[in-house]
Amino acid sequence: MRQQIAAANWKMNLTYSQAEQLLDNLLSKEYNLNANRKVVLAVPFPYLKLAVDKVNGKQGIFIAAQNCNTKKSGAYTGETSVEMLQSLSVNYVVLGHSERREYFNESNAFLAEKVNLVLESNLTPIFCCGESLDIREAGTQNEFVTVQLTESLFHLTAEQITKVVIAYEPIWAIGTGKTASSQQAQDIHEHIRNSFAEHYGQKVANEISILYGGSVKGNNAAELFAMADVDGGLVGGASLNADEFATIINALK
């Protein structure tokens, strides 16, 4: 079975003491995690060391950075390198979130550079893709997402691509309270997997985890995750509540 992942994206939220309390609350709960069921917590940069130390020794729970720079080091004030993340024992890096694309003008080509560097550093990219409302209403979401994948990922070898986690995020369903139906989620996830199959073959495509990232909550996670090509979720607001995120974790296949 493909890896099933409940990934939390805390975004730019919580004070240090609030982050510590949330971590303690999350880690106090029981989860049935194994090689195929994982939790990834993408916390703000100032809390990475705290989070890494908290989850040390906890089976199936890993820490992600929410971004990284395209350079290994240098005069880039305010930026964070993959070498810094490695030195903290961070395991994953979220790349290409819609907010990074929209607010910081990150292009598909720019994200390809980040993907390369993260993989070279033996970290796992969680690569985000997805469409805005106007594209969805025009019915061209499949073509739009295919371009994102092609320009940022399809230069990778088959061995490399299986190390990438995909997070499909319908931008129109992030923070709006709207959620794609479980069938809508399945349809676009199936398209994404078919795109990988066309480029790399079905065997490789079947190994790639594809997460759904549009207003996943405790009350819809089980239905979404039950879809054949939905391998978990990238969770925003609901991940800031320990009880609700625990429900989401326990909804993994």
97 tagged catalytic: yes
Which of 147, 74, 162 shows the shortest CA–CA distance to 112?
147
- Give the integer Cα–Cα distance in Å for 253 and 251: 6
3-state DSSP assignment of residue 38: strand
What dotted CATH number matches 4-249? 3.20.20.70
pLDDT tens-digit series, residues 79-127: 999 999 999 999 999 999 999 999 999 999 999 999 999 999 999 999 9
Instruction: With beta carbons less than 8 A apart as the criterion, state whether 45 and 85 touch.
Output: no
pLDDT by residue (tens digit) across 162-208? 999 999 999 887 766 666 799 999 999 999 999 999 999 999 999 99
Tell me, yes or no, if the pTM score tops 0.75. yes
Whole-angstrom Cα distance, residue 194 to residue 227?
A: 15
> So where are the chain's domains?
4-249
From the candidates 131, 169, 189, 244, give the one annotated as an active-site residue: 169
Confidence class of residue 238 from pLDDT cuts 50, 70 and 90?
A: very high
* Candidate list 97, 99, 131, 244, residue with the active-site label: 97
Instruction: Please check whether residue 210 is in contact with residue 189, taking contact to mean a CB–CB distance below 8 angstroms.
Output: yes
